[in-house]
A and B are shown apart, each in its own frame.
Chain A
Amino acid sequence: MRLLLSKETLSANHSKEISNREFDQRQVLVGRDVSADIRIESRYVSLRHALIYERDQRLFIEDQGSLSGILINQQPQKIAILNEGDEIRIGDVQFRVTSDRAPYALKQLLDETENLNLKEQISRDVDQLNIGALLTKMRMFGLIAVLGTIFAFILIPAASSNRPFWAPGPMTSAHRPIPKDCNSCHTADFDIVPNAKCVSCHSLTEHFPLSKDSSKDPTRCVDCHSEHRGEGGLFSLASQTCQDCHASEPTMKLLKAETKLPLVPSWKHHPKFPLLFPDRKANFKFNHQVHLEKALWSPEGDRTLDCSNCHLSPSHPDRFEPISFQRDCSECHRLDFDERLKEFEVSHGRPDEVFSTLLKIYRTQTRVQEKERGLARRPGKRLEPMKSPDEEARLAEIRLFEQKACSTCHVIEKKKVAAKGVSAYQVLRVGFPSEWVENKSSFTHRQHQAFACSNCHTSVLSSTSAEDLNIPGVAECQSCHSPEVRADAIKTQCSDCHSYHETLRLPKEGSWHP
């Protein structure tokens, strides 16, 4: 049998070298023994480990009862036929069957460990077991962690247009019908939602004036209404949101906001409610103090009035019914005008209407003249000249306007010239506006129903003039709502009373209720 053994070794300069040996003998012994043909000095190799021989023109290998056996292609074998490409492992040495030369050739592969000397082995182990060296790779780990984070949590979600992983919280349920695509609202990546997107569904013209070009809006809807805060997040308007601008001059200037409103950093600084008509004249006489006295005279017997007798509870959520003479005053304040015609009263109305009513009454009621004549027949009395119904009407008018009814409450002016058939008086317009203060709030009486009126309308009980303004001021609000006044103040946000930049519709001066 002829067998070529080529052995790989490392030269001094660490390049691979191959040395060849040829066997031409019946069998080749592999072992640790000095007499072995292929000698392997290894603790795992027996003195006589394996025999390689030819039979029936095939190459065989056979275990000789060795220490560690033979592995052919990683399988332990007692005896095996060797084919080209087979790998043989004996101890820690590896051979490969090659076709380098006919009929048989083996190649002893390089075992790097075997060729190391003691010093090299030590330094190899020291290197391998050096934890410090592992830590010098930390920069690489850091880079991997940073790049991995950017990739996994920033780039991968960025690839899709739906990025719930970036949102700080769930959306409000009302907005769920909006397609789950960030760009449905954020027009571009990392873009703040423009007002135009909100207005495309919500008509907000009442809420605050939008400019035609939404990019020029000084404020954005999302500045106050932040989405991705879960249910209710859109409407949790903190005072802070308002005070971000309204508490400091620099921010107001920064936003180039034009406002005449004072800065309100806290309740303490809340401005007085601005009167709509500071120079108004009431042109009316009314004494709250007298009307609220106990046991007031009335035709039906003594009565004690309270606020709700005249100020009827609102039909409108926050308006009281306007005072009506017919309903509120007429029970006590009768509009009769003639001792002789006690059953007659004029209706509460414009002077001309009153006068024409008087004329009508005197012209039809001849009874008055008959009474006069009856009186004339009495002895000792001089007959007075009979008055015409028109004269009677004029006299009654004077009684009504100047002495008795109208002037009790109204300011009356006498005309210089009174035309025939028309009243000689005019009643000055009553200065009771339907709104007293510049109402920028959504205050409602309903929320305050538990309290007596005089809790807030403190001046009413001592008010003697209709000129008195009995509307509560900021101080009254502060007494319950301002933490600066009381420690257990009722918590109040700006938005509890005010809405955002609401356009104001002012009432006309002196809306008059006959």
Chain B
Amino acid sequence: MESFLSHDRYRWLWVSVSLVLILLAAHFMLTPAGGHRGDTVWGYTLGILAFLGIGYLMAYGIRRRTFHAAKTTLKGWLSAHVWLGLSLILIVPLHSGFAFGINVHSLAYLVMCVVIVSGIWGAVNYRTLAPQIEAHRGGGSLKSLIEQYHMLGENLAGMMQDKSDASLRLWNECDVTIPKSLWKLIARRLPLPPLQESISKQVMSLPETERGSALTIVQLCEKRRALVIRIQKELRISARLKLWLLLHLPLSFALLVLVIFHMIVVFLYR
């Protein structure tokens, strides 16, 4: 199937690669006196090109929120967004003549790189995880998984109401709960099954009357554990699919601020 990367037979990859090659060739052919700098005609050309590029990439954010039919497909836009975005990593240093320093101008480039790298991460995540997300759901949404988890908990609680402390201890030993924080759930390791030895020890300490229900407790807890694992995996995938945007989007606006400020400083503060 054609993905956003290979859209239209890698059309935008070729556009991007040829653009970079042409600019590189021109860069080495045109050597202004005093070397390459942002304020030569060639420097301005590259600077304007990079700025228009940033504008075009940010326009994708508007395009993807516009749902009315357009002549261009959203997939085409995304493809151009990804491949042209990558080319900026090189166009901007060509603009500055590979001059960097500890200043607001180089910071703008650094921020741009973080935006692009986060974009690469996001694109890789889409490629690798999108097929998994369907498989993990097993037909159910996250909400239904949570529902099942709570129903099982309710069942267990009902069952344990008049049971002895020993039964409760067994329950607490086997059971797995969802942490309240989303971050913990994403970062925490998947819950391991309880140790067989300790369970058999617990079961042995149960009063005679309650030994029959011990198996049910262990089984229900195991089901709950499986549910928590599925919820956790599900959340991890959707986190990797979405959380990169927390870096990508806000920093792209910060980048816009820095680029505009860069222009103000170099033009007005001479």
Q: A: which residues have CB within 8 A of B? A: 32, 34, 41, 43-44, 46-47, 66-67, 118, 121-122, 125-126, 128-129, 131-132, 134-135, 138, 141-142, 144-146, 148-150, 153-154, 157, 164-170, 182, 186, 190-193, 220, 222, 226-227, 229, 232-233, 236-240, 491, 493
Contact = CB atoms under 8 A, between A and B. Distances in A.
B113 interface: no
Contacts of A165: 102-104
A155 to B, nearest CB: 11
18 contacts: A43-B160, A43-B168, A44-B172, A47-B164, A129-B231, A131-B239, A131-B243, A145-B253, A146-B257, A150-B257, A154-B261, A166-B104, A166-B265, A167-B103, A192-B269, A192-B270, A222-B270, A238-B32
Q: Which of B34, B105, B162 has the most CB of A within 10 A?
A: B34
Nearest to B240: A131
Nearest to A494: B33
Given A43-B160, A193-B270, A129 B172 contact: no
A166 B103 contact: yes
Interface in B141-159: 142-143, 146-147, 149-151, 154, 157
A193 B269 CA distance: 8
B103 A238 contact: no
Contacts of A132: 238, 242
B154 to A, nearest CB: 5
Contacts of A164: 103
Given A118-B150, A144-B250, A236-B33, 14 more contacts: A32-B168, A121-B150, A122-B146, A122-B150, A128-B180, A129-B231, A134-B243, A134-B246, A135-B246, A154-B261, A168-B38, A169-B103, A190-B269, A236-B34
A43 B224 CA distance: 16
Q: Which 10 A-B pairs have the closest CB atoms?
A: A236-B34, A145-B250, A149-B254, A238-B33, A142-B250, A145-B254, A141-B250, A190-B268, A46-B165, A192-B270
Interface of B: 32-35, 37-41, 99, 101-105, 107, 111, 142-143, 146-147, 149-151, 154, 157, 160-162, 164-165, 168-169, 171-172, 175, 178, 180-182, 185, 231, 235, 238-239, 242-243, 245-246, 249-251, 253-254, 257-258, 261, 264-266, 268-270
Nearest to B246: A141
B107 A153 contact: yes
A47 B172 CA distance: 15
B194 to A, nearest CB: 15
A154 B157 CA distance: 58
A195 to B, nearest CB: 12
Given A44-B172, A46-B168, A126-B142, A237 B235 contact: no
A233 B150 contact: no
Contact of A169 (B101, B111, B243, B254): B101
Nearest to A222: B270
Contacts, number: 149
A236 B33 CA distance: 7
A138 B246 contact: yes
A190 B261 CA distance: 11
A67 B180 CA distance: 23
Given A153-B104, A165-B102, A146 B154 contact: no
A125 B178 contact: yes
B32 A186 contact: no
B70 to A, nearest CB: 24
Q: Which of A43, A47, A232, A493 has the most CB of B within 10 A?
A: A43
A96 B76 CA distance: 63
A164 B102 CA distance: 9
A190 B264 contact: yes
Contact of B169 (A67, A126, A169, A491): A67
A43 B172 contact: yes
A135 B160 CA distance: 40
A283 B107 CA distance: 71
B220 to A, nearest CB: 13
Contacts of B172: 43-44, 67
Contacts of B143: 122, 126
B182 A43 contact: no
A408 B175 CA distance: 126
A167 B251 CA distance: 22
Contacts of B235: 129, 131
A34 to B, nearest CB: 8
B91 to A, nearest CB: 18
Contacts of A43: 157, 160, 168, 171-172, 175
Given A146-B250, A153-B104, A226-B270, A131 B32 contact: no
A126 B40 contact: no
Nearest to B41: A240
A492 B32 CA distance: 11
A237 B249 CA distance: 41
Nearest to A220: B270
Contact of A237 (B34, B257, B269): B34
A190 B48 CA distance: 21
A134 B239 CA distance: 10
Contacts of A134: 182, 242-243, 246
A169 B253 contact: no
A146 B254 contact: yes
Contacts of A227: 270
Nearest to A243: B41
A128 B142 CA distance: 12
A132 B154 CA distance: 28
A167 B262 CA distance: 10
A499 to B, nearest CB: 15
